[in-house]
Structure 1
Amino acid sequence: MYTPSAPLNAKGHQAPLTSPASAPDSSSQVEAAEKMDWFAAWWPVVPVDQVDLLGLKLVVWADSQGRWHTLQDRCPH
């Protein structure tokens, strides 16, 4: 039987009990934000309510190398 090491929240997801040892360097966050091209990140091509397979809601995208990826469309929080 599985016994969670952390309490589950209202949605049944396990919440972490620890925080990171140190905060990321703010300069690296700024550099990452400057490199991110938000206009090239997501291109909606079909309404989300039409993307499913056998009743599973899916999110489909292509990465910068043109490889396609698929994940179940659900919030992990």
Structure 2
Amino acid sequence: LSFAGLEAESLALVLDRVGLAVRGGSGCVTREMKIPPAMKAIGAKPEEARALILFTMGINSPMDRMVEAAVRVAKGVKRLQAALP
């Protein structure tokens, strides 16, 4: 997922505080300041790539846990957006 206007690493820190372990970037992340190949392949803009959060779920992940995660993400995004100038 990508959250326009937010930096992925900042959002990952906020989400960590509410109990979600996520990472910023794509699965094929690069240390360079350019769009990773997977993001480029789907036509992502640089600002979208910087706002990308990677979630991992399994086939056995219970639906209630996924719903709770979505609620926490929404709260984390709102918290971070409120802190922006």
Where on the TM-score scale, by shorter chain, does this alignment land: which range? under 0.3
TM-score (norm 1): 0.22
TM-score (norm 2): 0.21
- Structure whose residues are more often strand by fraction: 1
Q: Which has the higher contact order (CA 8 A, sep 6+)?
A: 2
- Structure whose residues are more often helix by fraction: 2
